[in-house]
Amino acid sequence: MQLALAHHQAGRLAEAERIYRRVLQDDPINPGVLHLLGVIAHQGGKNEIAVQLIDRALTIKPDYAEALNNRGAVLRELKRYEEALASYDQALTIKLDYAEALSNRGNVLHDLTRYEEALASYDQALAIKPNYADALSNRGNVLHDLKRCEEALASYDKALAVKPDYTEALCHRGAALHDLKRYDEALDSYDKAQTIKPEYADAHWNESLCRLLIGDFERGWEKYEWRWKSGSLSAKREFLRPLWLGKEDITGKTILLHAEQGLGDTLQFCRYAPLVSALGAKVLIEVPSSLKSLLATLKGVSQIVAIGESLPEFDFHCPLMSLPLVFKTNLESIPADIPYLHPEKVAVRAWEERLSGFDGLRIGLVWAGSPRKEQRNANVLDRLRSIPLAAFESFGTIEGMRFYSIQMGPPEKELSELKAQGWSGPEVMDFTCELDDFSDTAAFTACMDLVISCDTSMVHLAGAIGKPVWILSRFNGCWRWLVDRDDSPWYPTARIFRQSGIGDWHNVIGKVQQRLRSFPGDRHFRACVLSADR
């Protein structure tokens, strides 16, 4: 057992497992060996086997606190969070001062977005073990998700005082500094993490977002390629044909450009397809089915394929969001030939006829993103960018305008709920049940004089068809809107209204309301409205 433990602690898992199994032959009901075999299975990614082995150990020794703790860790990776929580709670009834179980319990509560309970669990762990670096760092993560960034920073700094080479704490510290708009310090924190652990993908990925935000596109796009190695996004697509990043001559070749990440990202970066076509290639593009019809209007594309459909033959492939790197895009060279997407004219005319009974300005309204509960990081950001519809109630005092919902997904129910409660805000017309895909939505949006939206795919749709769009941005805004600008080089018709503090939508709505009152007389935007191709 001592020899097996020595191999295990040194990371020689195969040798440790071999010796554990030898011990188990002589002592088949040894709970310690069964538990440690379960730990090795967990370390090797065989989590179902790990649970079975640890459960066998617990059948023999039900009060085995360490096994219950590790069982919780395995169940957490299997996303069986409630079972994991129960396992930690059972360990803590056996061993009240078990700091590791308290810290791990906090991790599961964090996963379940039960933030205050998670903080309490970390604090209990730290009361027992004040210099527990993991608990300090994980406590910082919860505080960061709660946007208590200064407190998060203090927690990370305490963890690093205990463990200066703690790369995860350095990376998360950088993210907190980023959200506090202390960008140079954030980059310094990412750099320190990479110095200790050069292949630390999350540090490179986070650095890319910071550099793009501050306009350092040259290094930002290069670092953005680390997204595939970071756990933040879905896995990299694998094709038999080679990846193209601009080095090979593609004259006469067929290239597949494929969507990644969200619908807004696809709408924003499909603009590069004509540039690829101009290099002499035949361009195929694979996109979500809801975008297929609209993107058929994109210049330079020979064929549109919906994700899941059979792909034709091609010579090279390139993810859409690698194209800025291919074309060495900087702030001055962003392709902004607007509009680059076009709604169907017949559909636009049909909506114009239906909406023609009102002579005032038509304002499209989007107040929320899509809550992705299965992706905790995305869900955290969605809660930050989304706005309660009730916040727009004061728009009811503005005359000469009619508001139209372009809100898709679950948040659209807010409108009917508020109306049932006696909504005193502006009348918001809702035709979204008639919009089946983005082509339908584009035709409807083309009939608006202005779109007001939080940071969702609708911003990109409006910008891509050349419609004036006002973006309501969270305090720590998305990298694509850059730092402290109220315009966008990506979309000339966009204006950005930013929170002055984390969670402060009241100030944003006030500025938008003030601007709306002068909107008909705003020469710049009125010119856009009058020249819009309806």
Beta strands across the sheet bearing 282-287? 303-306, 282-287, 254-258, 316-319
User: Among 185, 182, 204, 184, which Cα is nearest to 193's?
Assistant: 204
Confidence check: pLDDT of 134 > 60: yes
Alpha carbon 416 to its chain's center:
28
Residue 53 lies inside a defined structural domain of this protein: no
Whether residues 271 and 200 share a domain: the answer is no
Q: What is the DSSP string of 491-519?
A: -TTEEEEE-SSTT-HHHHHHHHHHHHHTG
Higher pLDDT residue, 262 or 343?
A: 343
Q: Can you tell me the mean pLDDT for 413-429?
A: 81
pLDDT at 75: 97
pLDDT at 453: 96
pLDDT at 448: 95
Number of structural domains (the chain) is: 3
DSSP-derived letter for residue 469 is E
Dist. CA 344–CA 336, nearest whole Å: 21
Whether residues 215 and 282 share a domain: the answer is no
Confidence check: pLDDT of 506 > 80: yes
Q: 523 Cβ partners below 8 Å, 6+ apart?
A: none
User: Among 127, 146, 71, which Cα is nearest to 104's?
Assistant: 71
pLDDT at 50: 95
Residue 46 lies inside a defined structural domain of this protein: no
* Last residue within a domain, chosen from 296, 326, 356: 326
Whether residues 212 and 308 share a domain: the answer is no
Residue 123 lies inside a defined structural domain of this protein: no
Residue 457 lies inside a defined structural domain of this protein: yes
Q: What is the DSSP string of 266-335?
A: HHHHGGGHHHHHTTT-EEEEEE-HHHHHHHTTSTT-SEEEETTSPPPP-SEEEEGGGHHHHTT--TTT--
pLDDT at 307: 94
Whether residues 375 and 446 share a domain: the answer is yes
Q: Of 424-433, 473-482, 516-525, which has the strongest mean pLDDT?
A: 473-482
Confidence check: pLDDT of 376 > 70: no
Whether residues 177 and 319 share a domain: the answer is no
Confidence check: pLDDT of 527 > 50: no
Average pLDDT of the residues of the chain: 91
Dihedrals phi, psi of 470, to nearest 5 degrees: -105, 120
CATH of the domain at 412: 3.40.50.2000
CATH of the domain at 275: 3.40.50
Whether residues 278 and 412 share a domain: the answer is no
How far is residue 416 from each of residues 386, 406, 421, 424, measured CA to CA in Å?
18, 14, 9, 13
Whether residues 316 and 352 share a domain: the answer is no
Whether residues 225 and 259 share a domain: the answer is no
Whether residues 400 and 290 share a domain: the answer is no
pLDDT at 390: 87
Whether residues 263 and 183 share a domain: the answer is no
pLDDT at 419: 78
Confidence check: pLDDT of 534 > 60: no
Window from 167-171, 279-283, 373-377, 424-428 with minimum mean pLDDT: 373-377
pLDDT tens for each residue of 307-352: 999 999 999 999 999 999 999 999 999 999 999 999 999 999 999 9
Q: Which amino acid is at 76?
A: R
Whether residues 416 and 480 share a domain: the answer is yes
Dihedrals phi, psi of 385, to nearest 5 degrees: -85, -25
- Looking at the whole model, is its pTM more than 0.85? yes
Residue 134 lies inside a defined structural domain of this protein: no
Residue 155 lies inside a defined structural domain of this protein: no
pLDDT tens for each residue of 21-43: 999 999 999 999 999 999 999 99
Confidence check: pLDDT of 410 > 80: no
Residue 108 lies inside a defined structural domain of this protein: no
* Last residue within a domain, chosen from 233, 264, 293: 233
Dist. CA 269–CA 335, nearest whole Å: 10
Residue 141 lies inside a defined structural domain of this protein: no
Q: What are the structure tokens assigned to 124, written together?
A: 């209990």
**C-beta separation of 481 from 473 below 8 A:** yes
Task: Name the band, by pLDDT with cuts 50, 70 and 90, for residue 531.
Answer: very low
Confidence check: pLDDT of 379 > 80: no
Confidence check: pLDDT of 88 > 80: yes
Confidence check: pLDDT of 378 > 70: no
3-class state of residue 452 by DSSP: strand
Whether residues 220 and 309 share a domain: the answer is no
Q: 239 Cβ partners below 8 Å, 6+ apart?
A: 256, 317
CATH of the domain at 225: 1.25.40.10
* Parent domain of 209: 165-233
Confidence check: pLDDT of 425 > 90: no
Dist. CA 171–CA 208, nearest whole Å: 12
User: Among 534, 520, 518, 460, which Cα is nearest to 493's?
Assistant: 460
